[in-house]
């Protein structure tokens, strides 16, 4: 059985649980406490060379690390990833964009607010917002003329970008500035098998 190592508030881990649910794949979930250092142990380093979640452990004991790599692995041969090389390259391009232009800026501002550190980290949050808004503006500009990020259907490109963008308001981003993003988020949430961040998948067996 597949085993997923994740954490409760991680948007990158949430992506994987959504896709596992959409693919109706049974899995065991191991939820780690990041603040207590559970990802810093030698045992976890043996699973994840980068010492972070999510990690997907395969039935033969091998592991796939990094959320985008896990999404690509799971979606291979499914409707969520194009076979066409050009369209596939566009999916991967959006995944790079999400990790480079959105994820850190949206996630860190959210973490500071969720942990009650916003007052102490106000200057850092201001810098995060400046960079995060640049990425959000690019996403908004694309979505004004496109229903989905790549081609004519929902793919793992949409899923990869969706999670932290949907959580950006928790980092005090003014998401009302982006109506095309709001409409796209609603389309993603309407996809069969979508689950909220704290929902348990019916395919989660442990």
Model pLDDT, residue 37: 81
Using the predicted structure, report yes or no on whether residue 38 has a pLDDT greater than 90.
no
| CATH T-level assignment (fold) for domain 85-190 | Glutathione S-transferase Yfyf (Class Pi); Chain A, domain 2 (1.20.1050)
Task: Provide CB contacts within 8 A for 101, sequence distance 6+.
Answer: 131, 134, 135, 138
Rounded mean pLDDT of 94-108?
97
CA distance 201 to 149: 25
Average pLDDT, integer, range 141-152: 98
174-to-100, 122, 138 alpha-carbon distances in Å: 20, 16, 15
pLDDT for 153 equals 98
Please give the Cα distance from 24 to 187 (Å, whole number): 20
| 34 has a pLDDT exceeding 90 | no
pTM over 0.85: yes
C-alpha 193/C-alpha 122 separation (Å) is 37
Report the chain's mean pLDDT, rounded to a whole number.
Answer: 96
The tens digit of pLDDT for each residue in 154-166 reads: 999 999 999 999 9
Extents of the domains making up the chain = 2-75, 85-190
pLDDT tens for residues 175-200? 999 999 999 999 999 999 999 999 99
Alpha-carbon gap, residue 95 to 151, rounded angstroms: 15
Confidence (pLDDT) at 35: 77
Indicate the class that CATH gives domain 2-75.
alpha beta
pLDDT digits (tens, 9 = 90+) for 2-22: 999 999 999 999 999 999 999
What are the pLDDT digits (tens) for 68-88? 999 999 999 999 999 999 999
* Mean pLDDT within 108-129: 95
Q: What is the dihedral of CA 197, 26, 157, 13, to 10 degrees?
A: 40
**What distance in Å separates the CA atoms of residue 113 and residue 125, rounded to the nearest whole number?**
9
Euclidean distance between CA atoms 3 and 69, whole angstroms: 15
């Amino acid at each position: 059985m597949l085993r997923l190592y994740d954490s409760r508030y991680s948007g990158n881990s949430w992506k994987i649980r959504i896709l596992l649910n959409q693919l109706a794949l049974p899995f065991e979930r191991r939820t780690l406490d990041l603040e207590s250092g559970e990802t810093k142990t030698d045992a976890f380093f043996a699973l994840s060379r980068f010492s972070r979640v999510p990690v997907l452990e395969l039935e033969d004991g091998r592991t796939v690390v990094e959320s985008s790599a896990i999404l690509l692995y799971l979606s291979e041969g499914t409707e969520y990833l194009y076979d066409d090389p050009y369209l596939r390259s566009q999916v991967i391009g959006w995944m790079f964009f999400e990790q480079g232009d959105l994820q850190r800026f949206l996630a860190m501002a959210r973490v500071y607010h969720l942990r009650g550190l916003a007052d102490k980290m106000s200057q850092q949050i201001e810098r995060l917002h400046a960079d995060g808004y640049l990425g959000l503006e690019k996403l908004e500009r694309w979505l004004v003329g496109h229903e989905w990020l790549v081609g004519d259907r929902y793919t793992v490109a949409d899923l990869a970008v969706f999670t932290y963008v949907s959580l950006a308001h928790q980092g005090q981003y003014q998401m009302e500035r982006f109506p095309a993003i709001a409409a796209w988020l609603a389309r993603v949430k309407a996809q069969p098998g979508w689950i909220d961040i704290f929902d348990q998948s019916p395919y989660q067996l442990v």
